[in-house]
Amino acid sequence: MNMKGFFITGTDTEIGKTCITAGLTHAFSGLGLRAVPIKPLAAGQDLVDGQWVNDDVQRLHAAQSLGLSPEQVGPLQFRAACAPHIAAALEGKAIEREPLLAAIRASAALGELALVEGVGGFRVPLNPGYDTADLAVDLALPVVLVVGLRLGCINHALLSAEAIRARGLQLAGWVANQVDPDMPHVKDNLGALAAGLGAPCWGHVPRLAEPTAAAVAACFDLEQLRLHRD
């Protein structure tokens, strides 16, 4: 099956990939597409009402309107909040390539456009010899880079873009997410990112008091999304 969609990666961990993926789910759904958010690997669960849940998976699940189950949104979820290969090992498990790909493809088949969120930055180990960059190559999806706006983001973004293209993948676009509300010279940083990344900016998301999927979606350039929805 040839998947249609995007692989969402970031310049680092904790830079808002899940918020952006939820926003993209809402935005593409608003454009008439059956968008499927998928977080294939999620590490860090809390016990809520007798069930182990992951906040990121819950956020993505709430953003979709296709009646997906949390397990279809987040196929592999681990208890410990750490690197996924470590979290898996703590449970006596291994992250296996083919079952992981099969789970992603099964969820993607339930809609028209898959939004597959990676883990941390672009290269996070999953098992010996296999990382999230390899996963992106296996899925063969165009990549959207979430740039967390804070000191050092230009370097992180340019290195990430270089790594993405070195794997033969298309950088379809990037989203600036204001993780540091007090970051100075934001406009100049955005200009440097636009000049260096060589891909269209899909939007600049400011620091939102309530970063709901709808609020994040309102920050996107819908014309850019329309160009990429097919």
Average pLDDT in the 117-143 region? 97
Percent of the chain with pLDDT over 70: 99
Q: Is the per-residue pLDDT at 146 higher than 80?
A: yes
Q: Is the per-residue pLDDT at 37 higher than 80?
A: yes
DSSP-assigned beta bridge partners for residue 201? 174
Average pLDDT in the 87-102 region? 97
| Cα distances (angstroms) measured from residue 173 to each of 7, 182, 225 | 11, 25, 10
Q: Is the per-residue pLDDT at 229 higher than 80?
A: no
88-116 burial by CB neighbour count: b if 16+ within 10 A, else e? bbeeeeebeeeebeebbeebbebbbbbbb
Hey, which residues are catalytic here? 39
> 156-177: per-residue pLDDT in tens?
999 999 999 999 999 999 999 9
What pLDDT, on a 0 to 100 scale, did the predictor assign at position 173?
98
What pLDDT, on a 0 to 100 scale, did the predictor assign at position 102?
97
Average pLDDT in the 136-153 region? 97
Domain span holding position 29: 5-228
What average pLDDT is seen over the chain? 96
What pLDDT, on a 0 to 100 scale, did the predictor assign at position 167?
98
Q: Is the per-residue pLDDT at 219 higher than 90?
A: yes
What pLDDT, on a 0 to 100 scale, did the predictor assign at position 12?
94
| Number of domains within the chain | 1
What pLDDT, on a 0 to 100 scale, did the predictor assign at position 1?
54
> 51-70: per-residue pLDDT in tens?
999 999 999 999 999 999 99
CATH of the domain at 16: 3.40.50.300
What pLDDT, on a 0 to 100 scale, did the predictor assign at position 2?
75
What pLDDT, on a 0 to 100 scale, did the predictor assign at position 140?
97
SS3 category, 21: helix
Average pLDDT in the 175-185 region? 96
Look at 230 and 131; give whichever has higher pLDDT: 131
